[in-house]
Amino acid sequence: MPIRRLPEHLVNRIAAGEVVERPASALKELVENAVDAGATRITVRLSSGGIDRVEVIDDGCGMSAEEMALALERHATSKLPDDDIEGVETLGFRGEALPSIASVSRLTLESRVRGAEGWSRIVDNGDLEEEGPAALPPGTRVLVENLFAKVPARRKFLRTPRSEYAAAADTIRRLAMARSDIGFTLEHDGRRNIAVQPGETRPERVAALTDRQLIENSVAVDYDRGTAKLEGVASLPTFNRGVADHQYLFVNGRPVKDRLLIGAVRGAYQDLLARDRHPVLALFLTVPAGEVDVNVHPAKTEVRFREPANIRGLIVGGLRHALDEAGFRSVQRPSAAALGNWQAEPVEGGVGQSSTAYPQGYSSEHPQPHQQGHPQGFQQRAAFFTPPPGSDQASVWDGAPEYQPAPEGKAEAAEAPVPDAATHPLGIARGQVSETYIVAEAEDGLVIVDQHAAHERLVLERMNRAVAEGGVASQGLLVPEVVDLDESACDALEERIGELAELGLELERFGPKAMLVRATPAMLGAGDTKGLVRDLADEIAAYDQHLSLKEKLDHVAATMACHGSVRAGRVLAVAEMNALLREMEVTPHSGQCNHGRPTWVKLGHGDIEKLFGRK
Amino acid sequence: MKATIERAVLLKSLGHVQSVVERRNTIPILSNVLIEAVEGGGIKLMATDLDLQIVETVEAQVEQAGATTVSAHTLFDIVRKLPEGSQVSLEAAEGKMAVNAGRARFNLSTLPRDDFPVIAEGDLPTVFEIPAATLREIVDKTRFAISTEETRYYLNGIFFHVTDDDQPVLKAAATDGHRLARFTLPRPDGAEGMPDVIIPRKCIAELRKMLDELDGTVEIALSDSKVRFGLGTAVMTSKLIDGTFPDYNRVIPTGNDKLLKIDPRSFEEGVDRVATIATEKTRAVKMALDTDKITLSVTSPENGTASEEVAGQYGSDGFEIGFNARYLLDILGQVQGDAIEVHLADAAAPTLIRENDKASALYVLMPMRV
Ligand SMILES: Nc1ncnc2c1ncn2[C@@H]1O[C@H](COP(=O)(O)OP(=O)(O)OP(=O)(O)O)[C@@H](O)[C@H]1O
Ligand SMILES: [Mg+2]
């Protein structure tokens, strides 16, 4: 069979198969080019999720007519001036993207170098259609239409415009996070969905692209380990989500998707957060170019670290450090929903629209349900106060507060004078409610603490500190235990032998399909060694993280913590309450219980005023 | 059935049998005690958890023979609260049992005696006797090392076996994988050819309670699946753990060349004192060996540090080794004499502890890495 050199247009189309698989990937290449061109504002317009049309306009350096012709040729790039592929600092470097996209779509490239004339070049599925002068502001405009119109095999695999759009928006979000100095706008079918200004700080940018409230509920990560550096923002454990969709990793400025992040984040937030809750975070990792290989896949979303364990350690360490610094902070304000429960009842016959929302039978059976101290009325209040679904919360906020029967909890007179409150963020204990909650007065509001959750947390933290400082003691086994596992599980465990030994588990490879256990963490007692090792192997396979061992240790710690804790339902003296508050202020992570729920909430003066309709 | 029995007698034997009954039972009859009045022969009380059964015979005036079952814990609680010195009459008829003493009247629900499960002993070919005091010692010196880890069920009991060392011996051993305790005694007559058996922890615990009140000898009869203890008026029958006890002889070190001789009391007290500040479950105590003394120390990040020097006889190279304080105390609580022997090799090797080379008990303890 004769061997032949493939014609240029076929080579491009094959390359396109790798670089461009959907509108979002074409978009990514174009926006990266704009970033590389030094743009300060980048505008993106999409139609039908980008299937019909992707347009990227930048105000970057632009290209001359000759450069434009070259740019559309394969392996033509301005970004590797000296063959140093290791040291590349631009997002692009292959000189592959434009020709690839041009080979599977109708591509219009318009560009103008400042102080020169603009030029336009239109390429239709690889063939030059027309070129000539164009009028445009300095910068570049790329328009990609009818992607894959002539590649039915690809076109068939495109998803609905909606999910193509979701992927495209994710791409923009990641790139916009990576470069908070650049302004981005994203319009889809005529609607502007993302607009961020140039020159924002990183936390502002991340919050703008994820959740505005992140600003108040996050910690800054800034962790320098010599050659490697981790920066970014991470939400407090109490600010969490049901899905791990808002977790972003950037390596040397490049957005990447890597499973390593999932495991490391889990590791860092572990025991601060329930398993099914996830923090919001954006982490920016800077490592020497030699430590990471970005040339793994043409789309550049995957990277390969030379020492993945170090990187994982850096991320866990950096996050943990930042969270430790945050100390007792947690979500500072009660959530809107919780505040809803503080609402006062509207005046009798007052705001009409809300009375219709009362539970049935209210008006006929209990025309005046809240007779003072009436136990029934007390009970029912909970139901009344919950805003009916869909009702406008603000409307029920108005109205006079009803008379509140004295709560049954006793409020001891506080002995400490108020001035102290200024120096104590969690305030001065004023009393205890239901023998479960401590009520304290802080300088800026009212603090309510769940005494059991708070104390349990303090004890666990104390114990964790012991583990951290003293290392994990391990107990040798009289007869080393042989655990049969499959070969890949053994390989995975063997790779982690060093780390596991630090946690007190001493393993040795024992033939191809078994591990020998010489010592186990002393905290676990004479437990089920085989089970532990098996769980561990599973866990490592799933997350490449030795969590289950740590989890087991934590579980022991947590169980002991629970036993050693003040139960709900115990009456505390004011001195005891204050001692608890003071300890919380200086203990890391005391703002949330072991399941990520807050241990305390603060009702600011503003919130209190709102409750009484003064604001 | 109708019988009268002295409260104290009934209380004592109910105390024995009711502790076999599990508090929570899915099979109702297992919560009950079987009461059988034998014409002219007193009353037999019996309880079981299907693995372990106790039958105790006590004196009583039987007016009418018969049998029934009632809740063991309820009956025990009732009898406990009856006035001291009272005569208790038990009368069963028509699905109820009346318990009367003084002016107190109880009428308890019963379950038919025929539903009550009895462990089939089968043939018990090996029969021998051991003095109660010796059996007590065997149990005390080994049971603390029994494993509670259910996945290693074969360690959940004391292993008894006979061998011919210099002379024929019976050995009892228990281990939880971290420490081993072994007791050796001359083979009792009749124990030759005895199968290796593992007696489960619960049986050991109940046996130990019974031994407290017993002088004389205990008759032991066993096969490879059951064991029966004749304990005076009581007979305890238990199933054995169906498993293979590991060859523990391998873990008893023979070449440990560093010998420490130390007074067990001051050693024990020292460990106990320094361990006070080790609040964690691990309770690691470090032992630094030096010429003719050891220094015990505990470091707790939470509480601070503690150390204590204890004098002893030691002439080898100094080094440090860590142990679980609780494990050490368990062992030291069982040794007597002015000076015990601690045979060490290095910080990672099993350590052997015994009173002396004649002692019947021997302990092996695995160190901790601290
Ligand atoms: N928006 C733009 N503004 C200015 N120059 C551009 C722009 N887009 C592309 N270029 C020029 O065209 C060249 C080719 O772009 P192309 O995207 O094909 O390759 P690349 O970015 O160098 O590498 P890669 O294939 O890795 O993206 C670039 O090197 C750059 O010089
Ligand atoms: Mg490019």
How far is Cα B55 from Cα B357, in angstroms, rounded to an integer?
40
Contact yes or no for A528 and B300 at CB 8 A = no
Q: How high does pLDDT run on average in chain A? A: 75
pLDDT above 50 for A350:
no
Q: Which architecture does CATH list for A202-326?
A: 2-Layer Sandwich (3.30)
Q: Mapping DSSP to helix (H, G, I), strand (E, B) and coil, where does residue B178 land?
A: coil
Token duo for residue A277:
């809750």
ipTM above 0.90, yes or no: no
H/E stretch holding A62 reads none
Instruction: Please state which CATH class domain A8-196 belongs to.
Output: alpha beta
For A217-270, the pLDDT digits (tens) are 888 999 888 888 999 999 988 888 777 778 999 988 888 887 788 888 888 887
Identify the structural domains of chain B with CATH numbers, from first to last: 2-115 (3.10.150.10), 126-250 (3.10.150.10), 253-365 (3.10.150.10)
Ligand nearest to the CA of A113: 1
Count CB pairs under 8 A between chains A and B: 81
Closest chain A residue to B323, measured at CA: A475
* Topology of the domain covering A415-615: formyl-coa transferase, domain 3 (3.30.1540)
Q: Chain B: give the shortest CA distance to residue A309, in Å.
A: 25
Work out the end-to-end distance of chain A between its first and last CA atoms, rounded to an integer number of angstroms: 85
Contact status, residue B307 vs residue B276, Cβ threshold 8 Å: no
How far is Cα A550 from Cα A472, in angstroms, rounded to an integer?
10
Of A106, A123, A93, the residue nearest A55 (C-alpha): A106
Q: Chain B: give the shortest CA distance to residue A600, in Å.
A: 25
Q: What is the pLDDT along chain B (370 residues), one digit of tens a residue?
A: 999 999 999 999 999 998 898 776 668 888 999 999 998 879 999 999 889 999 999 999 999 999 999 999 999 999 999 999 999 999 998 889 999 998 899 999 999 999 899 988 889 999 999 999 999 999 999 999 999 877 788 999 999 999 998 899 999 999 998 999 999 999 999 999 999 999 999 999 999 999 988 889 999 999 999 999 999 999 999 999 999 999 999 889 999 999 999 999 999 999 999 999 886 555 789 999 999 999 999 987 667 899 999 999 999 999 999 999 999 999 999 998 889 999 999 998 999 999 999 999 999 999 988 7
Ligand 1 atom nearest the C-alpha of A139 is 3
Exposed e or buried b for every residue in B40-72, given b needs 16+ CB within 10 A? eebbbbbbbbeebbbbbbbebebeeebbbbbbb
**In 10 A of CB B86, how many CB atoms?**
16
Question: HSE-up of B298 (CA within 13 Å, CB side)?
Answer: 25
Most distant pair of Cα atoms in chain B: their distance: 79
Contact status, residue B241 vs residue B200, Cβ threshold 8 Å: yes
Burial class (CB within 10 angstroms; exposed 0-12, middle 13-18, buried 19+) of A176: buried
Say if A516 is an interface residue toward chain B (CB within 8 Å).
no
Contact status, residue A259 vs residue A311, Cβ threshold 8 Å: no
**Which of B152, B281, B363 best tests the A interface by mutation, with the highest count of A CBs <10 A?**
B281
Contact yes or no for B180 and A529 at CB 8 A = no
| pLDDT reported for residue A417 | 40
H helices of A450-506, in order, are 451-470, 487-495, 497-502
Name beta bridge partners: B313: B261
Residues in CB range of A344: below 8 A, 6 or more apart: A399, A400, A401, A402, A611, A612, A613
Pocket of ligand 1 (CB under 6 A): A 29, 33-34, 36-37, 58, 60-63, 71, 76-79, 92-98, 140
pTM attached to this predicted model = 0.52
Task: Indicate the domain borders of chain A.
Answer: 8-196, 202-326, 345-351+372-400, 415-615
Residues of A in contact with B147 (CB under 8 A): 526
